Every structure is written in structure tokens, then in C-alpha cells.
A and B are shown apart, each in its own frame.
Chain A
């Protein structure tokens, strides 16, 4: 029983990371209707920046803040320099560009930082204050950080003027433009924010999986599963989906299929959702007018 609870707790911790990356995916999906295949690699690259800063002797919080800022600027820049000039092209071309970014960022990281596994520090103490062994310090810290990110994001979107403008431009770009909202700036901002949230996921997952250029492959696929399960156009659905997927992954990995089949489990989840309920649990069913 105790080990089941332990697995449940680490499932929730891992699920929080999937939720975080899933949230980043949904942010871009909501405003552009594209699935950013390069989201995981962007997060990985940001984490390498943090690694570099820590190696230069910066304290964790400073390195973390600079990394988040880097993630934001990089996301903003990718939208401005790569996706904006592409213009209105078919979905196929956009996905090809995303795959190009995926491979490009991955090989760039390999080129600059090398392919060996690097241990990455956790900002949290090993032991939980209460003295319980149910959950490790990093796991608890991850859950808290992700909840904090969500709360800030919610407050930002709900209570600030920029947040309102961003929601408006995602909902109805034409009317928003007519109302004087700089829609294209909002789009770039959304990309920056999404990359920033992804960087948080990268910082949280690196101590668990070790830092290397391919570290986000498995995380990304679970984040996809999370976003699909929760409904890809619903940020809170992605969060719920992430937690569910994390728990399923951990319980099934421990008791049913074993750790070697974790990626295949994500595949089954994705295909299952597409088969049974393509709009996800909390998603809206899209009706297209001909």
C-alpha cells in the first residue's frame, strides 16, 4: 500500500512536468492551431543555458531567472524570425518547419554542449520538511513550482490588460485587430510565454532524466498525450491530462507493463484518445462550416 502511494506521488510529480509542457503546447495551439513539435527541444536548449550558467558559478535562482528570460526571448524570436515570415501556408508546411526546428535545435545543442549525460542539480532539499519518505524533496518542489506557474499564468491571463488582449486575439483575431489590439505582438508574446513555461518544465525534469540533447523526447510525447487527453484547446484540460497521464505512466510502469514500454504506453494513450474521444475530456468539439 505504501509503495502504491509512493508511486502515486511520483506519478503526480512527473505528471506536473507533463502538465507544464502540455500547457506550453496548448498556449501555442490556442492562438495558432499548430502543434509545436519543437516545444521539447526549446525547453532542452534553455535547460542547457541554465547548466552553463551554473557551471560559471551563478546561484541557482539567478541562473533560473536568466534561463526563463532566455526561453521567453528565444520563443519570441522563433515566432518572429521563422514562423511569421512563413505567412499563411498549409498545415503541412508548418509541421515540416516545426520538425526542422526540432532537428535543428537538437543538433545545435549536441554541437555546442555535446552528447554525454550531464547531472543537473535540483534547487530543492532532498528531504521533505515533515520527514515523510512518501515524496522526495524534488518531487514536492516540482509540484509546487508547476502549481505556482499555473497560478501566475491564470492571474496574468485573467486580471491583466495584456492577458485579456492575448485571450481576445486567440479567440477572434479579426475583431481584436479592429478593436486596436496588436494581434501579431500578442502572438509573439504567446510564443515567448509558452517557451518560458517549457523552460520551467525543462529545469524540473533535468534532475530526473539527466541533461542531454535527447532528454525531452519522452517528456514531449507524454505532454502530447496529456494535451490530447485534456483537450488540446483547453489549458486546464492539459493540466488535468498531464496529472492523469503521469499517474497512469507510473502505475502502469511499475505494476503492468514495466519501464521498458513507457514510450509505447504514450503511443497507446495517444491512439486511444484519437479513437475514442478526439476532442479530449475537456475539449470543445469543433464543427467546421463549409
Chain B
């Protein structure tokens, strides 16, 4: 029982070859349907709903970033809200004071967040898991204070924050600002998800997972453990930071108090509920943390966080791989039924 809960995804890989004939045919179809549905969203929903969908996609990017670290590398960060804030502020400050176009801030924000993540992760990652959790927890708590600080006020606008202009659709396209923004974010999310998928199957991804499973064996195989860990933290920070930038552009506003501790915890809830160590889990988790508060707010102001807390604990007990793991298990069971003689288990 000393392996991570995410390790239970391995049997599905080994079981896959027997099911490829049936398994491969529906995948492209499902993916195609998903892409079509995603493209149809801005043309069938109201502007407010489109905005919600945009925010869900942005959250999904952030959750994916955190999942790379938590799910694939087994390192826990409680401070990804701070990285989200960093990305948002880089974009806002560059747009407000540097005269940057919104799209030109994204690469800058990506580089800044990557560097910050890499450097912040370097000392903490060399130690055991809970030290990183501690350091990032402190980072998340300190973030609003740092953003409000007087020395930074000329750039950050202090408590007031910065109000931005929402980008309008270019080239005279007949799209509302919300529709245009949705399509931009969709393209970004698609690109980043594809990159993540590629990366996690590649050399770095395999090294990352090896470290999660057996750090000592991994280093014996010649993997530079601190380097890969810090690299994973950097890339994870990059994803979350870019999500922060997109979030700032989408809401056209940044202020210190919207980046409290709870943002980091929401991302963690997204990772855990969606599914540790799964890419599609990021979308499920993001939808969960976007829509639960909308529904539960009517019961009590505290209801959403109470529900989140319940899910965090219940997931660890009942579904360590979140919703995606649950669905995968169900599908596997359906697929293998009747194909193999049942052994008593």
C-alpha cells in the first residue's frame, strides 16, 4: 500500500492491448464530438454562459498545471494560487504600464512564472513532500499582502488593483468580446493540453512519473531527481501562470483579495476531484470548481467550501483517481466483462 493511489492507472495500460480493437475506434469520434461541441459553445449560449465556459477552460489550464506536479510528480503545492496571481499581475502590469497588447503579455508571463516556479521549487523540492506543501502554503497566505504592499503600489495599484480593457475581436469579425475571448482561450487551452499530453508521454514525463513511484530507483537509473522535480514545478508554474494571465484578460480586472489562500485550495480540489495524474481530469475538476459555488451559494455562504472539503476527504477514501478514475474503472469493467473467464477475486 505504499505506492501512490495514482499508480492504479498502470493496470489499465497493460490491459489496453486486449481491448485496442474495440477501444481505438470510439476515441477519435468522442474527441471529435468534444471539439465540435466546444466550438459550438460561443454560438449557442448567452454571453454570461460563454464567460463561465471561458473561466472553466482557464481554470482547467491551471488545474492541469497543478496536476502535473501533484498527480504526475507526487509533489504537493498549496500555493498555485500565488502563481496564478503572478501570471495575472504580469499581464495586468504589462498592459497597464508597458503598453503591451494582451497577447504579447502571455509569453512574458510564461517565462516569468516558469523562472519563479523553478527557483522557488529548487530548495523545497530537495526535501520531503510536506516541506514543499508548507513553503507553498506560506506563499499562498502571503500573496495578497505582498500584492498590496506600498513599495509595489505604483505598478500593482495596491488594494484597488488594476482595471483592464477587454480585448475586442480583431479584423472586424462579427463576434462579441466574450465570444472572441472564448475562442482565444479555447485555442490556448487546446494547445497547452496537447503540449502536456506530448510532454507527459515523453522523456521528461516518464522521468517525472518514475520519481513519483520510486525516487531512489529513479535516481539509480540516472535521473537527476532535483532537476526533474524543479523542472516539473517550473512547467507546472508556467501553466498556472498563463492561466492567471488569461484570467486577468477575461475578467479585465486584478485585485489582491481575489488571490487568497482559497484559490490554491480550489485548484487542489480540481486536481483531486478530476483525477490525480490524468489530463482529462483537469477539465472535469475545473468544471466542478466552477459550477459547485454557483449551485451551492444559495444554501449558505460557507456551503461551497464545505462541499469542497467533503469531496477532498471522500476522494481520498473512495476514489483516489477522482471522477476520471471512476469512469475509467467502469469502462474497463464493461469492456472486460465476458471477454475473460472470471477468476475468483
A-side residues, CB < 8 A to B, are 34-35, 37, 82, 85-93, 95-97, 99-104, 106-108, 110-111, 115, 217-218, 221, 224-225, 228, 258, 260-264, 266-267, 270-271, 274-275, 278, 290
Contacts and interface: CB of A to CB of B under 8 A. Distances in A.
Given A88-B2, A101-B309, A103-B306, 17 more contacts: A35-B133, A90-B74, A91-B129, A93-B316, A95-B76, A100-B310, A104-B305, A104-B306, A110-B302, A111-B306, A217-B261, A263-B138, A263-B142, A267-B139, A270-B135, A274-B127, A274-B135
Nearest to B266: A103
17 contacts: A34-B130, A37-B133, A87-B1, A89-B1, A91-B128, A97-B313, A100-B309, A101-B309, A103-B308, A104-B305, A104-B309, A104-B310, A110-B301, A111-B301, A111-B302, A261-B146, A271-B120
Given A266-B138, A274-B123, A274-B124, A85 B302 contact: no
A267 B142 contact: yes
Contacts of B305: 103-104, 106-107, 110
A271 B216 CA distance: 25
Interface string B132-163: 01110111011001101110000000000000
Contacts of B312: 96-97, 99-100, 103-104
A90 B316 contact: no
Contacts, number: 143
5 pairs of A and B residues whose beta carbons are closest in the complex: A104-B309, A100-B312, A100-B313, A107-B305, A103-B309
A260 B149 contact: yes
A92 B74 contact: yes
Contacts of A104: 305-306, 309-310, 312-313
A92 B139 CA distance: 19
B2 A260 contact: no
Contacts of B302: 107-108, 110-111
A267 B146 CA distance: 11
Contacts of A106: 305
Interface in B300-322: 300-303, 305-306, 308-313, 315-317, 320
A220 to B, nearest CB: 9
A102 B306 CA distance: 10
B123 A275 contact: yes
Nearest to A228: B134
A53 B127 CA distance: 44
A271 B129 CA distance: 14
